[in-house]
Every structure is written in C-alpha cells, then in structure tokens.
Amino acid sequence: MDDVLKIADREIRNRLFVGTGKFPEKRLVRDVLEFSSVDVVTVAVRRVDPRSKDENILDHIPKDCILMPNTSGARNADEAVRIARLAKAAGCGNWVKIEVISDSKYLLPDNDETIKATRILAQEGFVVLPYMCPDLYAGRRLVEAGAAAVMPLGAPIGTNRGLQTRELVRIMVAELPVPVIVDAGLGRPSEAAECMELGCGAVLVNTAIAVSDDPVNMCRAFSDAVAAGRRAYMAGLAPCSGGHAEASSPLTGFLHG
C-alpha cells in the first residue's frame, strides 16, 4: 500500500516522529533512528552547539532524516520566533515545532501565543508544526495562521499516561484539513496504534522510547504499532455493536430439536 504522509513538499513514510531530549547517551539517538528508519526527528535548539563535537546532538542524527528543531524553553511568541530564526540561521532548515510553555507545573502549551508565533513564522516561509492543547477552535486558528499540521498533546508531557484527550483528538482529526499529530504523553506502542486508528497523521514519542530498558527495540515496537494502526484505519475498522452479542457464524439451519 503506497500510503505516505505529505507535509509541505516532503513525503514521509514512517509516521513515527521521534524526540531526542531524554536519551541517556547521544550515541543511542543514531541507533534508534536508523534501526527503525525514522523520517522525522525533533531536537531542542538549545541543545545544538556547532562548536562542540561531543555535545552537538546534530552529529548523531542521520543526514536523511527531516530535522525539525523545536522552540523548547520559549515562554511567549516572541521568544519562539527568535529561537526558530536562530535555528534556521544555524543551518537547521525551515521546519520548526513551535513550543510555547509558560506553565512550569503542568508544562501545558499556551495556545494563544502559539498561534501568534505560527502566523509570523509561516509568513516567513517556515513549515510550522505547533504543539498545542487539543481544542478544535484553536486548531482552526492555527490552520488559518499557516500551520502545516497541528500537534495536540495526548497527556501532559513526559507522563506516559496515554491518549487521555482521545475524544478531542478524534474531533480535530474529523474537522481539520491538515494532519493531526499526537505529541506528548504516549507511553506504550498500543497507545500509538490507537492514535493512528483514529486517523491521526502521525505521533511523536520521546520519553517512552528514551527511558526504556532497550530504546532501539522500543522504537521499533512503536514504529510497528504506528504502521499497524494506520493500516487498520485505512482498511476500515468494524463498527462497535450494541449491548447484545452477535454470532460470528449463523446459528440457523443446522440445529434440530
């Protein structure tokens, strides 16, 4: 099945996006990405140090990956825009994941400031994928502002609690004309498959892979789950029945009193 995700002018075959923020060793990043043929990887701009060969995370990312710098650390739209421009000037390309978080307790994204940053950067030619609290109206405003996709959280970042926002994500998938990519909170491959069965364009996972006992195989498990969930969505899931059971084989024609 030739099923690819298209964002801007790029075709993406692996719908698992991977974050790099929590790996205990940088060398694991390359192993994880190459073993699962990951197409899109995100990295915090503040972790990019071209002057240091040991500390520069970019040296551990395969050249054929789509690099999506994120604006982690930005507390408002102005800071996010400045970080995105710095990333582009440093040679990181024009893809950017907008993160605007001023809440230090729950780390929830500020949708209003995210919309402002998205509008500015989209007008400058960036391919903008904003991280957001799931909300249909905010999603529509992000699309109007020029977002190439929207990235609602599944649960608070780093919690591994799964798709707690399932119904809101389902509505966004049904109503928005751009890919919906669940980002944050997914802890198990089965939860990634659930997102894909809803019709999400992709998922982004970091913590659940990076802190596992075997990040390489955990990434492979998530990649397989994403592919299976997408295949199920494309095949058409069977509808749920009512409260009564339905026999899978006819019960008439062979039982006699």
- So which residues are the catalytic ones? 97
Cβ pair 143, 176 in contact under 8 A? yes
Q: In terms of Cα–Cα distance, which of 39, 102, 27 is closest to 66?
A: 39
Place of tokens 């919906």: 180
Q: In terms of Cα–Cα distance, which of 115, 119, 114 is closest to 100?
A: 114
Question: At residue 237, what is the residue type?
Answer: L
**Is the CA virtual torsion 119, 121, 123, 128 positive or negative?**
negative
Place of tokens 């669940």: 182
Helix (H, G, I), strand (E, B) or coil at 72: coil
Instruction: Report d(CA 38, CA 224) in Å as an integer.
Output: 11
Helix (H, G, I), strand (E, B) or coil at 194: helix
